[in-house]
Each structure stands twice: as structure tokens, then as C-alpha cells.
């Protein structure tokens, strides 16, 4: 027995070494593909049809096809990771950078419309998709599905792909459209994930009024607590940096603290069962409003580029992997005897997505226009069509939620679940490629005045990250405070609610928040200057 011990140990060490070498080779190949996606995306920057997301998706499909051929039809991926990898490592930098880079004035000016689209609209779409699936899927005889499975489908396909959509919109050329689509996309993703988590945790087999009310209360509690946690972590980061002024000794500490606290907000939300998406998004908004103005000029430049770069790489990684994983034979093997069912299920889901989105875009836009006094602020019918169309794309969030619900340990073991997985992949591929390819021409057709300058990626904007003077999103002078002072009354609140609330928020922010947490216009301990004459 002793004589076999060294040989067994040697074989074990050799096997471990081979696995490590194989893993390193896989990482090297995937890094090369990422570089190829970035280079090709740059070359196609001004393409009328393609954008970075579609380019990465197509490269992933081609790479997956080559791997499938060379492996004899056994595998289509270089790497394999679970959905937790997406939620824990890839999604946080994308959402945080979205909140950190957003023009806050545009976002909060349209906050009521964004919230109605992102929350009420998602709930309407969720109800239509779930109800439609319960009526139509049994006709296809896809297999046994519980009520929880149908509700999960509604949550999965209510999640829009804001990453792909925003790469064909320009924040400078179409500020209203960009803020609506961007804001709705983030709030929509958060709402969908909160809905999905609530569905998986609740016992919905015996639904009654009490269970429905408890479900609704739990949903809104998660929504509110997630937002408050993000605000708290952002304020805590701003207070620490302002009080301890790390930049006097090391700008590296400032940058490291902001990155780690941003990630901490997301992880803390996940630990407590909240929505990490919503938490890290509002953490990004608060950090950009307070903490970013408390650091040195070098740290400001570094953090802006670091967050944008991390977000960009994560986006490319996601679409590249989704393209390769779409050809995974393990998911398609279960439906090889009935591919027509998967195709019909995908068509049903696409139709339900389109109906569900139209069911809330048109009426909610009409209600939003009723409270908007300025005609330039109203959402016209052409803009409504673009918002409707842009939100039809489904992406990585839908794929990750579907894997989380309908696979176990990364494998699909039931035919009904396999059909839902393949249908999700089909919907994501079709909507991203077809709807994504037609979005730019649609914008050019409906809004020709906004297509004179080609839009750029939100993470690689041609505008400088730091500029002198005031940004239109934060300049207090652009709010015409004098007029509001004379008219700030209950009547003004009803006539122009958003502007009036913004006026009172400005007063509270200048009197209470900025003296404690810092921000533009207040002395930075790190430099001894008043926000260094640069603006976010």
C-alpha cells in the first residue's frame, strides 16, 4: 500500500498541474477574444447597424461555432461560469458606472416618468407575460410547470437590456430619450430582480388576498431598503473621505476606498437579500454628488476612467460569453425531438414582450405629458415608439435569471426547463441582433435631427470626463432660483412639481448636506481649494 502512495500522489499532482495549465490557456484565449472585440468594435464605431454589444455577441457566436466543430460537437465555450459570477462580479461595475456617470439633472427632472416606466410599467409587463404564458404554454404541451414558473417567466422577460440600448443613444443629442431609456432600464432591472427574488422565496401554490398583500409589501420593502442602503453607503464614503482627507498623503487610498465601498454596497445588499442593482446604482449617484468632489484632481480623473473601463470590459465579457454559451449542446439536446415547440415558445414570448411593453409605454407617456407644462419636455409619439422599441431587447439579466431558475448546478435536467432555457436564449439572440440592428435606423428615421452626430457608447463618450465650468446637470444657476422663490407655493407645486421639489432639495442640500458630506462649492480638505474648478 505504501508503494502505491507516491505514485498516486504524483498522478494527483500531475493532474492538478494539467488542469491549471488548461485553465491558464482558457483565460489567455478569452483575453485575446476580448481584445479582438474591442478592436473590431472600434473599427465599427460609426457603423449604421452594429454596436459594441452586437459585435461581441456575433464574435461569441462565431467562436462558439468553431469550438463546437473542433470539439466534435461536445462543447462551445472556452470558460464556464455560474449565474452567480454574473451577478457578483460583472453586473456591479456596469450599474455603478451608470449611476456615477448619469446627468443627475436630466435623471431627476424625469424621475416620475422614469419611476412609472421602471416600476409600474415592469409590473404591467410582468402581469401580461405571466398571464399570457399560463394560457398559451399549456396548448404547446411543454411539460408540467408550476404557477411559480410562470411568474418567474414574467419577471425574467420583463428585464430589458439597457446596456445594448444605450450604445445607440447619445446623452448629448437626445437627453430626454437617453434619460428615459437609461433610467427605466436600471429601475426596470432592479424591479425585475426584486420581483424574481420575491417569487422564488414565497410559497405561491395557495395564493389568496393575504399572500398577495404580503408579497406586495415585501416587494416595496425590498425596493425602499435597497435604495436607502445605497444612499447610506455613498454618504458614509463621502463623510470618511472629507473627514480624513486621504489625498494629502496618498491618492491611491482615495481611489481604493471609493471602489471598495461601491462594491461593498452591492455585496451588503445581496447579503441581506436586497436588490444589489438598486443599491449600487444609488450609491453611484450619491458618490458622484458628494464623495467625488472631496478627492484630489488626480483621484477624480482616475476614478472616472477606472469605473468607465471596468464597466466597458464587463459589458463586452457578458455579450461575448452569451454568444458562445448560446451554442451549448447540453441545453439543446433535450429539445432535439421537438424543436418546433421551442421556436413556438420563443415566438409567444416575443409577442407577449411586445404587447406588454406597449401596454404601459403609451398610457404612462400620456399621463406623464399631462403634468408636463413645457412642450419640449413632453414625450411625443415618435419618441414613445423609440422608447418602446429600445426596451424590447433582452440580454444578460434575462439569461442569468433563467439559468438561476431553470438549471441546477449549471445543468438542465428536465425537458420543460430545458425548453424554457433554449427559448430564453433564442429570445435574447433575436431581440439583441434584430431589434438592436434596427434601432439606429429607426432613430434616424423618426428623429433625423438627432442623428447628425453619431452616438457613442455611454462608457466611451467623446465628451471629456472632466471639464471646466459647470455641468448642466448640476449648475444651480440653470434652475432660475429667483423665479421659483417668488412662485414657490402649493400652486407652484401642482403646476411644476419636479422643478419645485428640485428647488427645495437644492436649499436643503446647500444648507445641511454639503457642509457635512462635501460636494461642489465646499472646501476640500485634501487640496484646500473649492472643488478645483472642475465638475462632474
492 and 449 both lie in a single domain? no
114 and 165 both lie in a single domain? yes
291-336: pLDDT as tens digits: 898 888 888 899 999 998 998 898 888 888 888 877 777 667 766 6
Domain final residue, candidates 403, 427, 453: 453
The CA distance from 420 to 402, in Å, is 8
pLDDT above 70 (res 420): yes
Report the pLDDT averaged over residues 249-266. Answer: 89
512 assigned to some structural domain: yes
The CA distance from 418 to 412, in Å, is 6
Residue 218: how many other CB atoms lie within 10 Å: 16
The CA distance from 525 to 181, in Å, is 38
278 and 426 both lie in a single domain? yes
465-479: pLDDT as tens digits: 444 333 444 443 344
**What one-character DSSP code corresponds to residue 411?**
B
The CA distance from 470 to 477, in Å, is 9
10 assigned to some structural domain: no
Query: Number of structural domains, the chain?
Result: 2
421 and 515 both lie in a single domain? no
**What one-character DSSP code corresponds to residue 338?**
-
Using DSSP, how many helices (H) and how many strands (E) does the chain show?
Answer: 24, 2
64 assigned to some structural domain: no
403 and 503 both lie in a single domain? no
pLDDT above 60 (res 484): no
483 assigned to some structural domain: no
Q: CB-based contacts of 406: which residues, under 8 Å, 6+ apart?
A: 149, 412, 417, 418, 420, 421
- What's residue 456's pLDDT? 40
76 assigned to some structural domain: no
201 and 347 both lie in a single domain? yes
Print burial letters for 461-473: b (CB count within 10 Å at least 16), e (below 16): eeeeeeeeeeeeb
518 and 448 both lie in a single domain? no
Please report, for the domain that includes residue 181, its CATH number: 1.20.1530.20
500 assigned to some structural domain: yes
526 and 413 both lie in a single domain? no
Report the pLDDT averaged over residues 220-245. Answer: 90
pLDDT band for position 162 (cuts 50, 70, 90): low
Residue 298's domain comprises 83-453
- What's residue 205's pLDDT? 63
Residue with cell 416618468: 113
What is the average pLDDT score of the chain?
76
pLDDT above 60 (res 149): yes
498 and 432 both lie in a single domain? no
Would you list the DSSP string of 193-257?
HHHHHHHHHS--TT--HHHHHHHHHHHHHHHHHHHHHHHHHHHHHHHHHHHH-GGGT-HHHHHHH
140 assigned to some structural domain: yes
The CA distance from 279 to 262, in Å, is 9
Q: For residues 164 and 391, is the Cβ–Cβ distance under 8 A?
A: no
373 assigned to some structural domain: yes
pLDDT above 50 (res 389): yes
The CA distance from 92 to 262, in Å, is 9
What is the value of pTM for the model shown? 0.77
- What's residue 455's pLDDT? 39
Q: For residues 397 and 189, is the Cβ–Cβ distance under 8 A?
A: yes
pLDDT above 80 (res 405): yes
The CA distance from 329 to 308, in Å, is 35
- What's residue 263's pLDDT? 94
Length of the chain: 536
425 and 493 both lie in a single domain? no
The CA distance from 325 to 320, in Å, is 9
In the three-class reduction of DSSP (H, G, I as helix; E, B as strand; rest coil), residue 340 is classed as helix
Domain final residue, candidates 453, 475, 510: 453
367 and 509 both lie in a single domain? no
Amino acid at each position: 500500500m505504501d508503494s502505491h502512495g507516491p505514485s498516486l500522489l504524483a498522478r494527483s499532482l500531475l493532474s492538478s498541474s494539467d488542469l491549471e495549465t488548461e485553465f491558464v490557456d482558457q483565460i489567455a484565449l478569452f483575453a485575446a477574444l476580448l481584445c479582438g472585440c474591442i478592436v473590431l468594435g472600434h473599427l465599427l464605431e460609426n457603423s449604421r447597424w452594429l454596436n459594441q454589444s452586437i459585435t461581441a455577441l456575433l464574435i461569441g457566436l462565431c467562436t462558439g461555432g468553431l469550438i463546437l466543430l473542433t470539439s466534435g460537437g461536445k462543447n462551445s465555450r472556452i470558460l464556464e461560469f455560474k449565474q452567480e459570477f454574473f451577478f457578483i462580479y460583472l453586473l456591479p461595475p456596469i450599474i455603478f458606472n451608470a449611476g456615477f456617470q448619469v446627468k443627475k439633472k436630466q435623471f431627476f427632472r424625469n424621475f416620475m416618468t422614469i419611476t412609472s416606466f421602471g416600476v409600474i410599467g415592469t409590473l404591467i409587463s410582468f402581469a401580461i407575460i405571466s398571464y399570457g404564458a399560463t394560457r398559451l404554454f399549456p396548448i404547446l404541451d411543454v411539460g408540467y410547470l408550476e404557477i411559480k414558473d410562470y411568474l418567474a417567466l414574467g419577471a425574467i422577460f420583463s428585464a430589458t437590456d439597457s446596456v445594448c440600448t444605450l450604445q445607440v443613444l447619445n446623452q448629448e443629442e437626445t437627453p430626454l430619450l437617453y434619460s428615459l431609456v437609461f433610467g427605466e432600464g436600471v429601475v426596470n432591472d432592479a424591479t425585475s430582480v426584486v420581483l424574481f427574488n420575491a417569487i422564488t422565496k414565497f410559497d405561491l401554490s395557495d395564493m389568496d388576498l393575504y399572500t398577495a398583500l404580503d408579497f406586495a409589501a415585501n416587494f416595496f420593502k425590498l425596493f425602499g431598503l435597497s435604495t436607502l442602503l445605497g444612499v447610506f453607503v455613498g454618504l458614509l464614503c463621502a463623510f470618511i473621505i472629507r473627514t480624513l482627507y486621504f489625498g494629502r498623503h496618498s491618492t491611491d487610498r482615495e481611489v481604493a476606498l471609493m471602489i471598495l465601498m461601491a462594491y461593498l454596497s452591492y455585496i451588503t445588499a445581496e447579503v441581506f437579500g436586497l436588490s444589489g442593482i438598486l443599491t449600487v446604482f444609488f450609491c453611484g449617484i450619491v458618490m458622484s454628488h458628494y464623495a467625488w468632489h472631496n478627492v484630489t484632481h488626480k483621484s477624480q480623473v482616475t476614478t472616472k476612467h477606472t469605473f468607465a473601463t471596468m464597466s466597458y470590459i464587463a459589458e463586452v465579457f457578458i455579450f461575448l460569453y452569451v454568444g458562445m454559451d448560446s451554442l451549448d449542446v447540453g441545453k439543446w439536446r433535450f429539445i432535439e425531438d421537438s424543436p418546433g415547440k421551442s421556436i413556438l415558445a420563443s415566438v409567444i414570448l416575443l409577442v407577449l414582450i411586445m404587447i406588454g411593453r406597449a401596454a404601459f409605454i403609451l398610457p404612462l407617456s400620456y399621463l406623464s405629458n399631462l403634468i408636463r407644462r413645457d412642450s419640449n419636455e413632453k414625450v411625443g409619439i415618435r419618441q414613445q415608439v423609440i422608447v418602446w422599441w429600445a426596451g424590447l431587447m433582452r440580454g444578460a439579466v434575462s439569461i442569468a435569471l433563467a439559468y438561476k431558475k431553470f438549471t441546477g448546478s449549471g445543468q438542465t435536467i428536465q425537458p420543460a426547463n430545458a425548453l424554457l432555457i433554449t427559448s430564453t436564449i433564442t429570445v435574447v439572440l433575436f431581440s439583441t441582433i434584430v431589434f438592436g440592428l434596427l434601432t439606429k435606423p429607426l432613430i434616424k428615421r423618426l428623429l433625423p435631427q438627432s442623428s447628425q452626430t453619431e452616438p457613442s457608447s455611454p462608457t466611451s463618450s467623446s465628451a471629456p470626463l472632466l471639464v471646466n465650468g459647470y455641468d448642466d446637470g448640476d449648475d444651480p444657476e440653470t434652475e432660475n432660483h429667483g423665479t421659483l422663490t417668488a412662485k414657490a407655493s402649493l400652486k407652484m407645486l401642482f403646476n411644476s412639481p419636479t422643478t419645485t421639489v428640485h428647488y427645495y432639495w437644492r436649499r436643503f442640500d446647500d444648507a445641511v448636506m454639503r457642509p457635512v458630506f462635501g460636494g461642489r462649492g465646499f472646501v476640500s480638505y485634501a487640496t484646500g481649494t473649492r472643488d478645483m474648478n472642475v465638475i462632474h
